[in-house]
């Protein structure tokens, strides 16, 4: 159990961020079969062959699995450094990765390799070679360009709506509200500590007013944490509403109100902005605004302002319609 001591000052200092590079790394674990595809199985089936071809061109992708995603053990930091803001472009994150001194990369890689079972000779030679930073960066750049970026508008919409909702909870109601439903691995004990069940180690850390960096992920199936002193303390967690295909409403609902409005109502199991819904369902902003106005006029949808954003949610009547539970 990891226990993180927090103070009231840590609420104000905490922030949320979205990292295209970290998501590309997570996508690689799913595409390679290292982690279960789960709700992404259709997306993985679509991109499995292109990914396998990418692995043939870039052996560094296969080698990277030896030094990333080792649950409960050491991992390298330079491959996916924490983002500096909410929406840092992939190119900026990749440039930070490329700027890593090879000596630092070798030190991090060496520490990970020493703590895990031996890897293949070719992978060890690549990972401890003089071009390892360039080879890994080139591999992730192509993975992003050829595969991950294609679906990024939807991925980003899922991540951003999670951020808006959870950040609003944290600011308005504190830690308990922000951590509610984040993961069964994470709990707020009410005495100033966040508990995280992760690996077999027992550790205690203190934010000390520096806050926590929250990183939602569409690919992460469980919680991960960065708790090194050189980093901002960060928590990676599964974003709400991650499924690539929105939950299907009952066929009768689509006949009643139209297929698109039924899909909007189904998607609003997780609150979202007009922009998020437009990206998630491939609609224009004006068209989506019209659908939301009609649903709100019928009492099926409500809206509330969170910071500078307006989040739409289903009303109790909307919930009942989607569930098919009207008398």
Segment 232-250, tens digit of pLDDT:
888 889 888 665 445 556 6
Question: What parts of the chain have a pLDDT lower than 50?
Answer: 244-245
Residue 185: both structure tokens together? 């691995």
What confidence score (pLDDT) does residue 244 get?
A: 46
Q: Can you list the domains of the chain with their CATH numbers?
A: 2-17+154-238 (no CATH), 20-153 (no CATH), 251-323 (1.10.10.10)
- On the 0-12 / 13-18 / 19+ scale of CB atoms within 10 A, 72 is exposed
Q: What is the pLDDT of residues 181-213, one digit of tens each?
A: 788 888 888 778 888 887 666 788 888 888 899
Residue with tokens 């679509």: 46
Residue with tokens 């009231």: 8
Residue 192: both structure tokens together? 């100033």
pTM score, whole prediction: 0.77
What confidence score (pLDDT) does residue 247 get?
A: 54
Buried b / exposed e along 154-187 (16+ C-beta atoms within 10 A) = bbbbbbbbbbbbbbbbbeeeebeebbeebbebbb
Q: Is 101 helix (H, G, I), strand (E, B) or coil?
A: coil
């Amino acid at each position: 159990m990891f226990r993180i001591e927090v103070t009231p000052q840590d609420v104000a200092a905490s922030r949320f961020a979205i990292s295209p590079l970290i998501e590309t790394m997570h996508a690689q674990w799913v595409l390679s079969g290292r982690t279960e595809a789960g709700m992404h199985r259709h997306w993985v089936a679509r991109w499995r062959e292109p990914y396998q071809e990418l692995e043939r061109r870039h052996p560094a992708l296969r080698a990277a699995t030896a030094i990333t995603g080792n649950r409960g053990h050491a991992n390298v930091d330079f491959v996916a450094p924490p983002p500096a803001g909410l929406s840092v472009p992939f190119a900026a994150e990749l440039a930070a990765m490329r700027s890593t001194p090879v000596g630092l990369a070798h030190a991090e890689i060496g520490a990970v390799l020493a703590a895990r079972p031996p890897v293949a000779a070719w992978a060890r030679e690549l990972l401890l070679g003089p071009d390892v930073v360039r080879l890994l960066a080139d591999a992730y750049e192509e993975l992003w360009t050829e595969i991950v970026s294609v679906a990024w508008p939807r991925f980003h919409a899922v991540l951003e709506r999670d951020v808006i909702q959870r950040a609003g909870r944290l600011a308005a109601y504190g830690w308990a509200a922000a951590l509610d439903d984040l993961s069964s691995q994470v709990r707020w004990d009410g005495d100033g500590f966040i508990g995280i069940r992760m690996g077999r180690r027992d550790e205690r850390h203190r934010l000390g007013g520096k806050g926590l960096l929250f990183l939602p992920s569409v690919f992460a199936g469980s919680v991960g944490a960065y708790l090194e002193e050189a980093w901002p303390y960060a928590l990676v967690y599964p974003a709400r509403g991650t499924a690539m295909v929105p939950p299907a409403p009952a066929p009768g609902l689509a006949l009643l109100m139209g297929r698109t409005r039924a899909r909007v109502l189904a998607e609003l199991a997780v609150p979202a902005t007009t922009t998020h819904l437009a990206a998630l369902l491939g609609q224009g902003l004006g068209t989506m605004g019209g659908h939301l106005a009609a649903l709100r006029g019928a009492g099926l949808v409500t809206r509330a302002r969170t910071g500078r954003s307006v989040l739409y949610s289903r009303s109790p009547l909307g919930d009942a319609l989607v569930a098919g539970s009207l008398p």
